[in-house]
Every structure is written in C-alpha cells, then in structure tokens.
Amino acid sequence: MILSAQQALVIIAAVCIGTILTRALPFILFPDQNATPPYIVYLGKVLPFAAIGLLVIYCLRNVSLLSAPYGLPEAIAVLFVIALHLWKNNSLLSIGGGTVLYMLLVQTVFN
C-alpha cells in the first residue's frame, strides 16, 4: 500500500505527538513538589522483573522437550546467560553472549 503525502504527514504527526505525550506525561502527572504515590514506586520496583520474566517465557514458549533437540540449545543458552551475568553483571553482555551462543548452537551443532 502506497501512502499519499498527506497520509504520511498525518502518521508522522501522530507519532510525534504520541512520543511527546509519553515523554512529558510522567512530569505532568508527578511534579517534583509532590511525593510519588506508593503504587507508582511499587510498580517501579516490580515491573522490570515482571518484564524480564515475560520475555523469558515468550522466548521459550515453543520449545519442545519431546522432540529433538529436546530444548538443549535453549537450556545451554539460558544457563550461559545466567552464568555470564553472575560473572560480569552486565546485561548487554549477557543478552548478546547468550544470543550469539544460541545462534551458533542452532546453526552448527543442532542443525
């Protein structure tokens, strides 16, 4: 589907307005002089862990333990990510290293 110039400009404007609103909304809702509500503080503490848990479940949702390779590349990569993160405590290194190892395993060892 090809967009007209007017449609493209409307989409760009909508994206710009949405981005500005999502960036400014926390400062509008929670100004510095007011204390942050306790439920927002709670969400700030628990949501990062919930998001990581959701991503792990999403990544492992189609792993079959009943057929070859029985989830071995995924298990090896997950254990590697955990070990690398405990060793270096660097999220980007852990995620990148696990991704590289998983790709190597599925493309060379378990193909």
pLDDT in tens, 13-50: 999 999 999 999 988 888 888 888 899 899 999 999 99
Q: Indicate whether 30 and 45 sit together in one domain.
A: no
Say what the pTM is.
0.67
Q: Indicate whether 22 and 44 sit together in one domain.
A: no
The pLDDT of residue 22 = 95
Q: Indicate whether 3 and 50 sit together in one domain.
A: no
Residue 1 has pLDDT above 90, yes or no: no
Q: Indicate whether 43 and 93 sit together in one domain.
A: yes
The pLDDT of residue 33 = 84
Better-scored residue on pLDDT, 9 or 40: 9
Q: Which residues have CB under 8 Å from 40's CB, separation 6+?
A: 30
Token representation of residue 66:
């009943």
The pLDDT of residue 32 = 84
Q: Indicate whether 104 and 51 sit together in one domain.
A: yes
Token representation of residue 42:
């709670």
The pLDDT of residue 36 = 86
Token representation of residue 8:
């493209």
Q: Indicate whether 30 and 42 sit together in one domain.
A: no
Round the average pLDDT of the chain to a whole number and report it: 94
User: How many domains does the chain fold into?
Assistant: 2
Q: Indicate whether 53 and 80 sit together in one domain.
A: yes
Reported confidence tier of residue 60, pLDDT bands at 50, 70, 90: very high
Residue 57 has pLDDT above 90, yes or no: yes
Domain that includes residue 58, residue range: 38-109
- Pairwise CA distance, residues 67 & 45, whole Å: 39
